[in-house]
Structure 1
């Protein structure tokens, strides 16, 4: 069996996706124990999107997404410790314990949220891309949103501006088929979301989101266009979440058979099968990766448990930013 990608890439995908999966499973368990409060949206099943995106981009590229943000944050380099501490609301969290599940953030690592307002990140993502174009870098912005956010007016206004200004932004619709509990079929006459780009003459594509290979290749093509100042691309990445919309969602709007159909295409199992078929790792080596990931998750829980709560004087900090404008004369 020939593969386009290397042994190292497959092993990286396997370990990264397994870490995302085990982190999210533990987060779900801790939520049930009331260690994590507020909203909590899990990424289980969608890991190939984050894994393929990270190998198709470079560290200086920017990511921005909605509230289902834990796995993308980990992929971008935020430590599981900082992520779990944020879920706990602790001071050592990636947003100092003030953002919680929906608002992970790291300017240093180029991860700009985590946004609770549906579709808000679409316009902000274009703004980040405008900044990169203004500063004359070759960085691109990956702006992730769900099929529900594709119904927001913000998308159309942003698409128009992004194409007019040829911004280096990749709009990625993670189409997991349900906006909360409402299927795509019930919300739009256009079932192929990538076709929304046609109105703006924006390049677009539909991609298998259960395949790391397909995600990497699709994003890689779009990134190359953006780096050459050829403007944005819309990618509809068809994926699936195994759990409900959030921890409070029993997901009774779909059948068990539908969920099992997608689990048969589980991205972690697909990557593992390639590794095993190519004999790129022994069973002992695979087990060592499994144990390493298990230890990382246990460590991040201990870190969150032992971390301090934010102090009272943090309450009003980070609400506004003091900005000096040297070009403004009194």
Structure 2
């Protein structure tokens, strides 16, 4: 969809890093919140936001989770307690801190300081899950947050606009052999937890979900012009939009100085 010029701006992929969001977010409870940087599409999926709502957001459509106002790097869902993706590194920290303070204030969790650091192989979803389980458990016990460094290797360039010509092919091949999705499939089969047929059925289902999301997003309407200032100002009608939700400057009387404002 990006190369068909149906997505605008930058789109940053998550290929090779799927084990991190899956290992953590699937252990969270409904009342837990997350805040992240860009590449937030996979976190949004892991959090339970429908694929059609996410893809519609990437296409800036009115049917999306942010009504087309967030775009690729700013996916938000109050319903799913996803506090947003943020384009600048570190922007999510004060948001997460605020959420932690809110939880502390409501006496739902313990102190939001005193941080333990842990390193984990971010290409192994099961190892990530174990670390996440302990980190989340510590938070629920009131023992504070945990800084978890998940060491991963992204398979694509910085964004879809990045031709990714700077990395050595041997380096790419080395990490491709550690693909977290391929590794998990092998683990499931080797331990008789799933068959090849089971996994093919899942792949087929995912293809259907993606195709449906693409069709839904592509056919969805773009946001109306009257929505431009919604969620920007507390009183958007006080900033150039009249009671009829039209811009006041569209009123012929506006330039004459006789429009009712």
State whether TM-score is above 0.5.
yes
Distance 1:224 1:280, change over 3 A: closer
Question: Residue 311 of structure 1: CA displacement?
Answer: 0.9
2:10 is aligned with 1:39: yes
2:29 is aligned with 1:84: no
- Paired with 1:256 and 1:321, the residues of 2 have a C-alpha distance of 51
- Paired with 1:223 and 1:121, the residues of 2 have a C-alpha distance of 18
Q: Residue in 1 aligned with 2:259?
A: none
- Paired with 1:55 and 1:40, the residues of 2 have a C-alpha distance of 24
Q: Residue in 1 aligned with 2:220?
A: 307
2:87 is aligned with 1:134: no
8 Å CA contact retained: 1:65, 1:115: yes
Q: TM-score, normalised by structure 2?
A: 0.86
- Paired with 2:195 and 2:124, the residues of 1 have a C-alpha distance of 23
8 Å CA contact retained: 1:40, 1:246: yes
Q: Residue in 1 aligned with 2:247?
A: none
Match of 1:252 among 139, 162, 165: 165
Match of 2:88 among 117, 127, 134: 117
- Paired with 2:22 and 2:116, the residues of 1 have a C-alpha distance of 23
Q: Residue in 2 aligned with 1:166?
A: 111
Q: Residue in 1 aligned with 2:68?
A: 97
Question: Residue 35 of structure 1: CA displacement?
Answer: 1.1
1:228-239 matches, cutoff 5 A: 228-239=141-152
1:269-320, CA deviations, whole angstroms, 9 ceiling, x for partnerless residues?
1111111112223332222111100000000000001111111110110113
- Paired with 2:5 and 2:35, the residues of 1 have a C-alpha distance of 28
Unpaired runs of 5+ in structure 1?
Answer: 1-29, 139-164, 169-200, 323-330
- Paired with 1:43 and 1:50, the residues of 2 have a C-alpha distance of 10
Unpaired runs of 5+ in structure 2?
Answer: 236-261
Q: Residue in 1 aligned with 2:253?
A: none
Computing the radius of gyration from Cα coordinates, the structure with the larger value is: 2
8 Å CA contact retained: 1:207, 1:235: yes
Match of 2:32 among 55, 61, 81: 61
SS of 1:234's equivalent in the other structure is strand
8 Å CA contact retained: 1:90, 1:96: yes
8 Å CA contact retained: 1:245, 1:251: yes
1:187-235, CA deviations, whole angstroms, 9 ceiling, x for partnerless residues?
xxxxxxxxxxxxxx63111110001111111111111111122212111
The 4+ residue runs of structure 1 with deviation greater than 4 A are none
- Paired with 1:117 and 1:66, the residues of 2 have a C-alpha distance of 7
Matched pairs, number: 235
Question: Residue 68 of structure 1: CA displacement?
Answer: 1.1
- My pick for the range that moved more, 103-112 or 226-235, is 226-235
SS of 1:113's equivalent in the other structure is strand
Q: Residue in 2 aligned with 1:207?
A: 120
- My pick for the range that moved more, 112-121 or 70-79, is 112-121
8 Å CA contact retained: 1:133, 1:167: yes
If each structure's helix is expressed as a fraction of its own residues, which one has the higher value?
1
SS of 1:112's equivalent in the other structure is strand
